[in-house]
């Protein structure tokens, strides 16, 4: 393991946890495990830090299998057993259904909505009311642009969010961690690569936004940081407000 990479991500996670008061003693936390590098890194850090912090919490990883052929569920189970993670795999047909003639919506939108709904249902059944998701700094920026481009609103994912009359709390401990650093950490630690077999994986709107931003970032190294900081420096008096 690279100590430098570990320290950078650990510092970013610590900052997010502290600023948003994400985790308390005796919390029972579901980690949404997708098999991607972000969620694997999130699970690794949340599990690792238990041995060196003064508070205790319980982790349960949940993977919602979308039902495509060549699923990596069994390999993910084996990996989690080896790492000492507690894992529940839920087999569904959400991915197949979302790409069928039954669905007239965007397949990614429907699949994501169904998987998120089931994740909340399972968390409720198991008695876990805090959900940790692996969204990182780049995801938050991309969501801002997705919502502006395709929903006509300025909004993004919050590092901490209360839902269903505060019954559930979503936390995103990687909110300050950059994607390239997470990828580097995963590679240095030989995390397994669980291939996403979804037919829309490489043609989604998020991929288009990611590619667009990648080109913009190359023009000035300050742009990513400025965009991220701008979300905490909103000046409503300089926004359109027809009501006034």
Give the annotated binding-site residues for ATP: 32-34, 38, 64, 134, 139
Q: What are 166's two structure tokens?
A: 């505060």
What is the Cα 186 distance to its own chain's centre?
15
The residue behind tokens 């502006």 is 148
Q: Which long-range contacts (CB under 8 A, 24 or more apart) does 199-203 make?
A: 199/99, 200/99, 200/107, 200/108
What is the Cα 156 distance to its own chain's centre?
13
Classify residue 54 by its DSSP letter.
S
Q: How far apart are CA 77 and CA 81, in angstroms?
A: 6
Q: What angle do CA 141, 221, 19 make, to 5 degrees?
A: 45
Q: Where are the beta strands (DSSP E) in the chain?
A: 27-32, 57-65, 87-91, 130-132, 160-163, 168-171
Q: Which residues are annotated as a binding site?
A: 32-34, 38, 64, 134, 139
Quick one: which of 112, 82, 90, 61 has its CA closest to 192? 82
CA dihedral (228, 232, 235, 236) positive or negative: positive
Q: How far apart are CA 197 and CA 192, in angstroms?
A: 15
């Amino acid at each position: 393991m690279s100590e430098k990479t570990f320290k950078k991500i650990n510092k970013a996670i610590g900052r997010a946890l502290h600023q948003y008061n994400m985790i308390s003693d005796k919390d029972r936390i579901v980690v949404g495990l997708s098999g991607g590098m972000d969620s694997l890194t999130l699970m690794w850090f949340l599990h690792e830090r238990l041995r060196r912090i003064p508070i205790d919490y319980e982790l349960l990883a949940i993977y919602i299998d979308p039902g495509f052929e060549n699923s990596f569920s069994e390999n993910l189970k084996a990996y989690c057993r080896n790492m000492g993670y507690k894992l529940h795999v839920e087999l569904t047909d959400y991915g197949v259904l979302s790409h069928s003639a039954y669905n007239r919506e965007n397949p990614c939108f429907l699949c994501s909505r169904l998987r998120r709904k089931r994740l909340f249902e399972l968390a409720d059944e198991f008695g876990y009311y805090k959900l940790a998701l692996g969204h990182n700094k780049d995801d938050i920026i991309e969501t801002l642009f997705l919502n502006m481009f395709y929903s006509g609103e300025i909004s993004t994912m919050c590092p901490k969010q209360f839902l269903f009359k505060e019954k559930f709390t979503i936390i995103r401990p990687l909110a300050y961690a950059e994607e390239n650093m997470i990828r580097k950490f995963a590679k240095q630690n030989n995390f397994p690569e669980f291939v996403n077999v979804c037919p829309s994986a490489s043609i989604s709107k998020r991929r288009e936004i990611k590619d667009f931003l990648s080109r913009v970032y190359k023009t000035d190294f300050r742009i990513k940081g400025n965009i991220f900081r701008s979300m905490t420096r909103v000046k409503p008096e300089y926004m359109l407000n027809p009501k006034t």
